[in-house]
Structure 1
Amino acid sequence: MDKKTYAIEYPDGEYENILLTHAAEKKVPIQGEIEITSKCNFGCIHCYADQEKSSMNPVLFMRIADQLRQNGCIWLLVTGGEPLIHEAFDEMWIYAHSIGLRLSLFTNGSMLIDKKISVLKQAPPENIEVSIYSLSEQTQRIITGSAQDINSLLSRLHSLKAVSRIVLKTPLLTENVEEIDKIEQLAKENGFSFRMDAVIHPALSGDCSSVSHRVPADKAASVVMKDPAMREQLRESNSHNRLPFETEGYLFPCSAGKYSFHIDNEANLSMCSIYRNRAGCLKEESFSSVWKRLTDLRETKASPNKRCSECKIKNICPTCPAVGKLHNREHDYIDEYICQYTHEIAALSGIKLL
């Protein structure tokens, strides 16, 4: 008799929600990011990652990758710095892919040479997010200190389109705000997705000069909210907690320490890329022991200031304890720019505050 197989079909997105819900309940580190180097060939005016420049040992990377799989990790983002600058990127990437990790890559695209493209075709990432700062060489140099041949980059990305989802992403800056529509249109014309980072943060070192490049909150909101689908998505997000677990009353209103994590180039395990609390170092301890410490910290209760706890639009506010820390303040610090920006996007989306 032939053995029958059965498949359970879920509506779009429901399977992932079920998976994340169970991961949160069991505290399984199902997704995370690993910074294999802090070195970069760009010197961006808005970059938050201004720590000491170094790269992860490839043998250490492979050991960590093995431990991640053993502890239930499925999705791993490889980032930097500029990850493609790492001398052992090829072998590290292929190894992580070979043990079953579903990889994504953040890159500025400048080092997507033929050899790297071959590696990515051999071990395809689920997503490749490529930072595009400007279509003007002059503005590109102002923002990054380097030039980027957009046409050449697009050609190289097209060669990867068959094996990976390509995302062009752009930070919203005073220097490029007038180009955002053109960059988004470029993405659409080439069949790529588009993402914009609207809020610029201070650097990890505490240097706040990067926030001078923020677009005024009302203008930033108008750029972000011009898409009707985005307005509808925001209204939906405001109506309920967007995460599959309770966040009310906790210090961390996100997935960090529940089922997600960040590992820096020195193998320190932290909540996320901008909250570098360094729960422990994976050079010295196992992932499981440091992860346990991180999940315990995640359960920290908080008594947020009344202004935030009673806010009618807190579900769509992009603030968090990391913002206060980056500003060299307390966890409940209110970044007035973020507060104004959130109220602006709420108003443009038709969200009632009363």
Structure 2
Amino acid sequence: MHQLIASPFLGQYLVLRPGHACGVRIPETRYRQLREAVADGRPAPRWLHDAAAQAWKLELPDTGPGAAPLGDVLLVREPSPYGLARASYEINKGCDYDCPHCYLGQKKFEGLAWEHKERLLEIMRDAGVLWLQITGGEPLIDRHFPAVYTHASELGMMVTISSNGSQLAKPLFIDLFTRMRPYRITLSVYGATEGTYDRFTRNRGAFDRFTRALAAAREAQLPVRLNIVVSDSNAHELDAMRQLADRYGFPHHTYTNMSPTIAGGAEPLPTQATDFLRQRKPFTGCNAGHTFFHADPFGIASICKVGRDPNINLIKEGVEGLSRLGSIADSLMLRTGGCSGCQLSGTCWTCRPLAKLYQEAKAPRNAYCQHSER
């Protein structure tokens, strides 16, 4: 397994170390130097020794006669004509929890066979994906997760896992993530006490498994970040949830706004803690469909987790299908339906695909539109 990755990234060139947040930006000439050194079996150049020592306190093999070839420690990612540098992969919608706020709606446990999962990851590599988020459902309950995570890492992706933490304390995952460190593990927090947490997830023993996961992750020094989810049923424990995060020493972020399901269902909206509804910043555009895309459990690519239609079947079309994604993204951002001719679109809080879901769910306008205040 490589210790370093050299890769193009959105017109720049980076040297990264898996499992570490910092990286080194290099000019194209040095990227090409590394590429040629790996191809020719030469050792690491002296400047890379110095950069690795300064950035990560990593000592590379000697550069003298008989030194190990650079390819033993460095993976060079090839340039991609698609320029899709980030992606999320919903490995499976199945989940061991039944949280009322979930945007997925019906959570069927289904997905691709291993050979198609493997192909999907290689398509992502060929598209230029350097940062990959593996999500679900609950990704760790997919039987192919260890193989998917390992293969994505071997292909030179910096992997983030989004999880509820129910399985994380198991030796299988602690050993995997200790041996092959992820870029980040993001865990959702649903309460600070057993009663609140277990009621929210509708799963007895969930809080106990979650706190064991936090303890195991801290012991293994894994790069964990916590997402505190605030709903009508746990808002009274917000301060306690923040204290829980601080007690384990993990950084945290608070989420308060509930969204419709990806099918436009209104089921999550009643869980909104009204006093915590947060006004979003004006939407000024995003990179969805241009430098980022999402893949669902069947390898269906869309611009993001919200705007899922039109889409592209990557298993049938291969990486070439992604050439249409930019035009799909542009078409989805056009203001149509209830947003046609809006005079406040320049300061709108919500992207058009998300606004459409709110409209389909017949949500209160103040959840997504500032017209309610005019």
| TM, length-normalised to structure 2 | 0.70
Counterpart of 2:198 in structure 1 is 141
Residue 123 of structure 2, aligned match among 62, 67, 72: 67
Partner of 1:194: 252
1:262: Cα distance to partner? Answer: 0.5
1:102 to 133, 138, 158: 158
The 8 Å contact of residues 269 and 280 in structure 1, kept in 2 or not, is answered as yes
CA root-mean-square deviation: 3.0
How far has the Cα of 1:200 moved from its partner?
0.7
Distance 1:62 1:138 in 2: 40
**Residue identity matched to 1:212:** P
Please give the per-residue CA displacement for 1:275-312, whole angstroms capped at 9, x wherever unaligned: 211421122111232x111111123363554343253x
1:158 is displaced (CA, Å) by: 0.7
Query: Which runs of 5 or more structure 1 residues have no equivalent in the other structure?
Result: 9-25, 225-233, 242-246, 248-252, 344-352
The amino acid of 1:134's aligned partner reads G
**In structure 2, how many angstroms separate the alpha carbons of the residues matched to 1:93 and 1:53?**
19
Q: Hey, what does 2:189 align to over in structure 1?
A: 132
SS, match of residue 317 in structure 2: coil
- Equivalent residue of 1:275, what SS? coil
Q: Distance in 2 between matches of 1:92 and 1:342?
A: 45
Tell me which of the two structures has the higher relative contact order, counting C-alpha pairs closer than 8 angstroms and 6 or more residues apart: 1
Instruction: Tell me which of 79, 82, 85 is aligned to 2:141.
Output: 85
Deviation at 1:5, TM superposition (A): 3.6
Q: Percent sequence identity over matched residues?
A: 23
Q: Does the 8 Å contact 2:87/2:294 carry over to 1? A: yes
- Figure out how many residues of one structure are paired with residues of the other and give that number: 291
**Is the partner of 1:209 in helix, strand or coil?**
coil
Contact 2:260 2:361 in 1 (8 A): no
Distance 1:306 1:262, change over 3 A: same
Residue in structure 1 matched with residue 311 of structure 2 by the alignment:
279
**Residues 93 and 123 in structure 1, CA contact (< 8 A), matched pair in contact too:** no
Pairing partner for 1:263 from 277, 291, 295: 295
* Matching residue's letter, 1:43: D
Find the aligned partners of 1:69 and 1:40 in 2 and give their Cα distance.
27
Give the alignment of 1:223-302 within 5 angstroms: 253-289=285-321, 291-300=322-331, 302=334
Letter of the 2:116 partner, please give it. L
* Alpha-carbon distance between aligned partners in 1 of 2:121 and 2:372, rounded to the nearest angstrom: 38
* Contact 2:266–2:361 (Cα < 8 Å) also in 1: no
Q: Report the CA distance between 1:55 and its aligned residue.
A: 2.5
Residues 66 and 174 (structure 1 numbering): CA distance in 2 closer, same or farther, change over 3 Å? same
Q: Could you give the per-residue CA deviations for residues 211-242 of structure 1, whole angstroms, max 9, x where no partner exists?
A: 001111x5434xx9xxxxxxxxx9xx77xx8x
Structure 2 gaps, min length 5? 1-44, 52-80
Matched, 1:309 2:345: yes
Q: Cα 1:310–1:293, aligned 2, differ >3 Å: closer, same or farther?
A: closer
Write 1 or 2 for the structure with the bigger share of strand.
2
Which amino acid counterpart does residue 287 of structure 1 have in structure 2? V
Cα deviation 1:30-63 (Å, max 9, x = unaligned): 0010011111100111111124431332221211
For 1:27 and 1:286, the matched residues in 2 are separated by: 12
| Helix, strand or coil at the partner of 1:277 | coil
Superposed CA deviations along residues 119-163 of structure 1, whole A, max 9, x for unmatched, are 1112211110011100122222221111321432221121342xx
Give the 3 Å change call, closer, same or farther, for CA 73–156 of structure 1 in structure 2: same
Contact 1:324/1:334 (CA < 8 Å) preserved in 2?
Answer: no
Structure 1 residue 340, shift from structure 2 partner: 6.0
Letter of the structure 1 residue corresponding to residue 366 of structure 2: E
Partners of 1:205 and 1:5 lie apart in 2 by: 52
**Structure whose CA Rg is larger:** 2
1:62-81 deviations in whole A, cap 9, x for unaligned? 11111211221100000111
1:45 and 1:131 mapped to 2: Cα distance?
Answer: 14
